[in-house]
Amino acid sequence: MTSDRVSALSLAEQASLTSGATAWTTTPVRDAVRALTLSDGPHGIRRPAGDGPGVSFLAASLPATCFPPAVTLGSTWDTGLAHRVGAALAREASAFGVDVILGPGVNIKRSPLCGRNFEYLSEDPHVSGRMGAAVVTGIQSLGIGACVKHFAVNNQETDRMRVSADVDERTLRELYLPAFEHIVREARPYTVMCSYNRVNGVHASRHRGLLTGVLREEWGFDGLVMSDWGAVNDRVAALAAGLDLEMPPTGTDQEIVTAVEEGRLAASAVATAAERVLRLRDRVDRAEHLAAWDADAHHELAREAARSGAVLLKNDDGLLPLDPHSRQRIAVIGEFARTPRYQGHGSSRVTPTRLDTAWDALRAQAGPEVTLAFAPGFTLDGTPDAAMAAEAVALAAEADTALLFLGLPDSAETEGLDRTDLDLPAAQLALLRHVAAVCPRVAVVLANGSVVTVADWQHDATAVLEAWLGGQAGGSALADLLFGAHSPSGKLTESIPLRLRDTPSHLHFPGQDGHSVYGEGRYVGYRHYDTLDLPVAYPFGHGLSYTTFRYDDLDVEQTGENAWTVRATVTNTGSRAGAEVVQLYLAFDEPRPTRPRHELRGFAKLRLEPGRSDRAEFRLTGRDLARWSTARGGWRVDPGAFTVEVGASSRDIRLRTPLWTPGDEILDPLTEMSSLGEWLAHPTGAALLTEHLASLPFATTLADSDARLLEAAAQVPLRKFTGFGLGVTPDHVRALVAAAAEREDR
Ligand code: BGC
């Protein structure tokens, strides 16, 4: 429906609202509609120093807090923290006059090779959806708009503007869409950004099924859909499909006007898109714009997020934390300790307000008894430097403990390119070997935005702390953890495989000839490894602490039909304060797998002082049990048994209890092609078969058949029994279908 305020605009003015004026602003209309300002996103505000036709849209940006990218924020599993980071982003946006932040990014990490995994939250849609929703509600709590991206199935950078993600419907519904669905339904983002790629052959920017059918009609999205930057190929088709705003502008508004004049595009489609731009303006106009933000407080928040997202992969002999007050010599080795890698490359790159280094922070936190010395060990461009390595090894030989800062070079992880391997640079691994040979206590601290393999080298490290990309305060966050002011509490939101070729998409990624076939289906990450019981280096959900936790008292309360509340007690059994990410999985044990062995359906992060306990609480609904039925074209809960599992990782289940569901009890309509088994399982169908066919040879033959034959016959569509001399005629079958439909209608 066209509102008066849209009708008051000419067609050309309406069309102008559906594209940007510059790379970062929408088009103003006279003094009736102001321009809105959009800015990347997702982990800091990237506000270019200028805007306008002459300014490259990758121009340097004004200083803003560089929070840890999504890989690290996701690994915190802390929705409250994600909300606070979202609110902080909004404060900075408001001070810059920005109306919409282009984030969060919630695409699934289908392959660890995706060059943009550092900008995404998880291989799992439940984590991505919950953490993404928390960022959105945080941003929008100040009236600034969030933009959930990239909708949809944008899981690689190779050929990203053309490639077709060829994915089956069930995989789409169960793996690639649920994070978006949850965020749209629960957090009500003001905007969504479509992706560059095609989905099953159709560009996302003109995919009516996704932009209108799924997003608006099914999920009730009432905001604005904008294009990714340059994702539109056909303005008219995109607008007709449900894309409201093309960014950045391509000077094609006249195409819209002409299409309407020639009857190729409904005038109402333009008016609807224009109305959505106005609605966005109404929403963001409610934001209060601050003059400035508290840079110190935001830096501290960035530090907390970096600290909470680091994952302690191993810690043999309790090597970490190091005591900052005992006499010891610590060799700090690796250029990353002095020149941190703290974010990835591309549109999300933020100019930080300041930058902490681990080297400075370790010195600041070490007591007078500690002797610290630094050697770079390697160059960041990867060129082997024997003298540099020898200096570092000599330093390690003199030390009680070596802290070795390893990681991927800056160029390895960037928007627009995928990686081709999961390895750390060879020069760094050679250095680790030599350091380990002279120093028995080696802690490796990793800087990387997506997983690296550890299986080939981790025996040389006593401890491994995966610090991801820590944002601008990552250096001090590391000192907080290494010296034990805080215990690590991050957990993996993506599995670490033993080898690249173990990854389920390996045979398909990144595709060829414009197609990436999602042949692994919904078996991505732990859904693959756990279903097939394959070894991994570290499983999904893994992460150690300096303390230990005990799980007891699993309790399930049925609160309704297909509704339960699950509770479990977690106790800090160690001697330090810590936080535990408690995970809930639902497991379906099937003789022949039709779904992943188990799937995450809940998580809670509990902070506990030594000796203290708390209850983790989760709610389960029918949707948590459901699978997407392609036959039904909707969600379906099958009747049967399943298991609630509560644990510390996907491979460390501590408590479990069996449950049973009657299913959703929705009966699918019976047709001539419904199988005999489906007819018999259907109360009306079974009754009708007895009434109509009991006197025929059909019934006697079935009654005389052995169990195996009956099992086979159960799979045969009813109509097929007409050919076997069993007395069943096509008229019988038609009459049965009609009678079934009639009784179901009543
Ligand atoms: C990226 C988006 C980003 C946009 C604007 C695109 O290349 O895919 O994530 O928001 O540029 O910088």
Answer with the residue of higher pLDDT: 469 or 591: 469
pLDDT band of 565, cuts 50, 70, 90: very high
pLDDT, one tens digit per residue, over 528-557 is 999 999 999 999 999 999 999 999 999 999
Q: Name the β-bridge partners of 149.
A: 105
Q: Please, are residues 103 and 69 in contact by the beta-carbon 8 Å criterion?
A: no
Q: Ligand 1 pocket, 229 CB below 6 A? A: yes
Cα(79)–Cα(128) distance, rounded to whole angstroms? 11
pTM greater than the 0.75 cutoff:
yes
Q: What is the 668 CA–ligand 1 centroid distance (Å)?
A: 43
> Cβ(347) to ligand 1 under 6 A?
yes
Q: Which atom of ligand 1 is nearest to the CA of 102?
A: 10
Is 630:170 a contact under the CB 8 Å cutoff?
Answer: yes
- Residue 522 CB-density burial (10 A; 0-12 exposed, 13-18 middle, 19+ buried): buried
Percentage with pLDDT > 70 across the chain: 99
Looking at residue 53, its pLDDT comes to 56
Spacing, Cα 455 to ligand 1 middle (Å): 34
DSSP calls for 108-160? ---STT-TTGGGS--SSHHHHHHHHHHHHHHHHTTTPEEEEEEETT----TTT
Atom of ligand 1 nearest to the CA of 150: 9
With a 6 A CB cut-off, is 119 part of the ligand 1 pocket?
A: no
Q: How confident is the model at residue 589 (pLDDT cuts 50, 70, 90)?
A: confident
What confidence tier does 467 reach under pLDDT thresholds 50, 70, 90?
A: very high
Domains and CATH numbers, the chain: 4-49+61-284 (3.20.20.300), 307-512+523-531 (3.40.50.1700), 549-661 (2.60.40.10), 676-745 (no CATH)
Ligand 1 atom 8: residue of nearest CA: 228
pLDDT at residue 593, rounded to an integer: 86
Are 468 and 68 a contacting pair, CB within 8 Å? Answer: yes
Please say if the pLDDT value at position 525 is more than 60.
yes
Atom of ligand 1 nearest to the CA of 40: 10
Nearest CA residue ID for atom 4, ligand 1: 229
Q: Where is pLDDT greater, at 565 or 1?
A: 565
Contact between 154 and 197 (Cβ < 8 Å):
yes
For β-strands 328-333 and 401-407, DSSP reports them as parallel
What is the C-alpha to C-alpha distance for residues 205 and 727, in angstroms, rounded to an integer?
55
Identity of residue 547: T
**Per-residue model confidence (pLDDT) at position 102:** 98
DSSP string, 494-555: S-B-SSGGGSTTTTTSS-BTTEEE-TTTT--THHHHHHHT---SB-TT--B-SS-EEEEEEE
Per-residue pLDDT reduced to its tens digit, 318-365 = 999 999 999 999 999 999 999 999 999 999 999 999 999 999 999 999
What is the average pLDDT across 634-648? 96
Cis omega (within 30 of 0) on the bond before 248? yes
What average pLDDT does range 719-734 have in this prediction? 94
**CA 66 to ligand 1 centroid distance, Å:** 17
Residue bearing the CA closest to ligand 1, atom 11: 229
Over residues 213-234, the mean pLDDT reads: 98
Judging by DSSP bridges, how do beta strands 38-40 and 224-226 pair with one another?
unpaired
Q: Does 104 sit in the ligand 1 pocket, CB within 6 Å?
A: no
What mean pLDDT do residues 282-309 have?
Answer: 96
Residue 453, CA distances (Å) to 15, 68, 302, 418, 507 in order? 50, 22, 27, 16, 18
Q: What is the tens place of the pLDDT at every residue in 395-409?
A: 999 999 999 999 999
Closest C-alpha residue for ligand 1 atom 6: 229
> What's the pLDDT at 52?
61
Q: How many residues does the chain have?
A: 746
Tens digits of per-residue pLDDT, 693-716?
A: 999 999 999 999 999 999 999 999
- The SS3 of residue 556 is strand
Which residues are designated catalytic?
228
pLDDT at position 64 is 98
Ligand 1 and 43: CB distance under 6 A: no
Give me the pLDDT at residue 592, please. 86
Q: Establish whether residue 124 lines the binding site of ligand 1, counting it when its CB lies within 6 angstroms of any ligand atom.
A: no
Q: Is the CB of 483 under 6 A from ligand 1?
A: no
pLDDT grade, residue 413 (50/70/90)?
A: very high
Answer whether residue 54 shows pLDDT above 60.
Answer: no
Bridge partner list, 29: 33
Mean pLDDT in the chain?
A: 96
- Of 35, 41, 42, 38, which is closest to residue 24 (Cα–Cα)? 38
Closest of 319, 379, 354 to residue 476, by C-alpha? 354
The pLDDT value recorded for residue 383 is 86
**How many whole angstroms separate alpha carbon 383 and alpha carbon 16?**
52
Categorize the per-residue pLDDT at 1 as very low, low, confident or very high, splitting at 50, 70 and 90.
Answer: low
> Which residue is listed with tokens 């007078």?
368
40 CB within 6 A, ligand 1: yes
Q: Which is it for the CA torsion 396, 402, 403, 404, positive or negative?
A: positive
**How high is the pLDDT of residue 58?**
63
Average pLDDT over residues 479-503: 98
What single-letter amino acid sits at 185? R
- The two beta strands, 627-629 and 634-636, are antiparallel
pLDDT in tens, 107-150: 999 999 999 999 999 999 999 999 999 999 999 999 999 999 99
C-alpha 410 to ligand 1 mean position (Å)? 19
Taking 80 as the threshold, does the pLDDT of residue 175 lie above it?
yes
Question: Which band of pLDDT confidence, cut at 50, 70 and 90, is reported for residue 50?
Answer: confident
Q: In this structure, what DSSP letter does residue 350 have?
A: -
Residues in Cβ contact with 499 at an 8 Å cutoff, skipping those fewer than 6 apart: 453, 455
The span from the CA of 165 to the CA of 511, in Å, is 9
